[in-house]
Amino acid sequence: MEVLVAPYHPYEGSCDATRGMKHNEAHGTSSIEISSIPTSFILSSTIETTIIDTSTSLPPFSSPITSTLPASTISPTSSNIMHQPITSLFSSQSTKGGKIVPEDEPNDLDVMVSFAETRLKLPLEQIEKQHDDHLKHHARNFEYKVTKLHDVAKERYVIFVEQVKKVEESVNLKVVELKLEMTKEVEKIEKNYSNLHGKVDVIPNAITMLVEYHNSFSTKLDAKTYRESKAFEKLEEFCDHPKFPF
């Protein structure tokens, strides 16, 4: 909704500005044709301003909604007029040939203010209603998206828990298999150690027996050597001093 203020002279306006009013010189009054009041209308010839409604469509949802008119586009006199209470259009009226003719002299200012307030009030109400509908629509969309994300997260969580359980079962099986293999390997190592220990125990016994045999053989060899040396001594004595019986 945009309201512009432009200078206006009561007798130097456009055809659109004067087409809604017809001067009756005979009665000294002015009559207004409601059906012929254009979008650009006259507030008062004494104020010498015209409020032109240039709104052709409602603003988009993204544009901010203002509940008051911009102060820069309305003169102080027009602003005071727009905030005055709406008065009755006519105290009494009669219809002749499709035209509204008041009995007393009409107040053009009250008529124009009433018409302007009506024209300004309806778009603002429509804008507020559309803004509320827009917010409700976005709220429903947001709630729908949050619900969808919650459902997706719940499904993902269920899938994740199932995968974790499968991995846990697989790991437990692998641990059991590894324990069995380690137990078998430990048993093999213990068995090999026992066999090796038994073989190592035989070696000292064999060494002991070998030493004993060596000592015994040496003793016997020494005794035999001693006897043979005595025999050689006797043989040498006999050869040096032979003794013959005859």
Q: Which two tokens stand for residue 166?
A: 């499968």
Q: How many helices (H) and strands (E) does the chain have?
A: 3, 7
User: Which residues fall within 8 angstroms of residue 242, CB to CB, at 6 or more apart?
Assistant: none
Confidence of residue 30 (pLDDT cuts 50, 70, 90): very low
- pLDDT at residue 226 is higher than 70: yes
Between 185 and 17, residue with greater pLDDT? 185
Mean pLDDT of 60-75: 44
Instruction: Write down the pLDDT at residue 245.
Output: 56
Between 86-90, 204-208, 229-233, 234-238, the lowest mean confidence (pLDDT) is in 86-90
Confidence of residue 127 (pLDDT cuts 50, 70, 90): confident
Q: By C-alpha distance, which of 21, 24, 58 is closest to 38? A: 21
**CA dist., res. 101 & res. 185, Å (int):** 119
Tell me what percent of the residues of the chain surpass a pLDDT of 70: 54
**CA dist., res. 198 & res. 212, Å (int):** 22
Between 35 and 166, residue with greater pLDDT? 166
Please name the amino acid found at residue 93.
Q
Mean pLDDT of 10-16: 41
Per-residue pLDDT reduced to its tens digit, 185-217 = 999 999 888 888 777 777 888 888 888 888 888
Instruction: Write down the pLDDT at residue 183.
Output: 93
Instruction: Write down the pLDDT at residue 242.
Output: 63
Instruction: Write down the pLDDT at residue 144.
Output: 94
Q: Which pTM was predicted?
A: 0.30
